[in-house]
Amino acid sequence: MLAALTGTGLAASAGLNAYIPLLVMGLLARYTDVIDLPQGWSWLTNGWALVILGILLAVEVVADKVPIVDHANDVVQTVVRPTAGGLAFGAGSGAQTVTVSNPGSFFGSHQWVPIVAGVLIALGVHGAKATARPVVNVSTGGFGAPVVSTIEDFGSAFLSVLAILMPILVLAGIVLFVWLAVVVVRRRRRKRESPSSDTARLFG
């Protein structure tokens, strides 16, 4: 159960930022005893892998904060984030392999289940993020993009650490994320409806 919650939290984190949960796992596994990755996922602790993830994260952080560019980035990330979510769920939940040398054994042993689950979770979170971002950009004239993106990055990092250290709280974190998303959407709708309401009162 805890392994599934860890995988869920990491996959959801990947839906916000593909590289943060992988980087967090790699760094913690390499430099601490907090997480012990299965043998098939030990590549995450490789120095070059960590450097590449760090560079990709830096590019993602910058691109996601620029209006219009962030939309193009979301299109590209439609493939990257779910893939990272599958990797993060597989590693976090203790799946034993990331390579498929024997497809029959792979599917017969259900090793694919956590990876597919991670892909679907990350895809769902990414879809919500990619749908909400244009609304934020339009309603704020583009000024909201860096603010929302920064919140998402911190949220991804927080959820990654939470999933590893206190997986039982992952559900609370996800509920909080959904609640905040609903609040933001409702406030945007009220702001858009208020001018039309004022106009109706003037001419009504």
Least confident of 39-53, 135-149, 155-169: 135-149
Distances (CA, A) of 113 to 110, 117, 163: 6, 6, 19
In this prediction, residue 99 has a pLDDT band, given cuts at 50, 70 and 90, of: very low
Q: Which pair of structure tokens corresponds to residue 103?
A: 């497809």
d(CA 163, CA 161): 5
82-93 tens-digit pLDDT: 999 888 887 776
Main-chain phi, psi angles of 112, to 5 degrees: -80, -20
User: Of 14-18, 140-144, 167-171, 192-196, where does the model show the most confidence?
Assistant: 14-18
3-state SS, the chain, equals CHHHHHHHHHHHHHHHCCCHHHHHHHHHHHHCCCCCCCHHHHHHHCHHHHHHHHHHHHHHHHHCCCCCHHHHHHHHHHHHHHHHHHHHHHHHCCCCCCCCCCHHHHHHCCCHHHHHHHHHHHHHHHHHHHHHHHHHHHHHCCCHHHHHHHHHHHHHHHHHHHHHHCHHHHHHHHHHHHHHHHHHHHHHHHHHHHHHHHHHHHHC
pLDDT at position 185: 66
Mean pLDDT of the chain: 78
Q: 107-161, pLDDT tens digit by residue?
A: 455 566 778 888 898 998 888 888 878 777 777 777 778 888 898 899 899 888 8
**Nearest CA to 119 among 79, 177, 154, 76?**
79
Looking at residue 155, its pLDDT comes to: 87
What's the pLDDT tens digit per position in 63-81? Answer: 988 888 888 888 889 999 9
pLDDT at residue 101 in the model: 39
The pLDDT > 70 percentage for the chain reads 77
Contact of 70 with 63, CB cutoff 8 Å: yes
Judged against a pLDDT cut of 90, whether residue 179 lies above it is answered with no
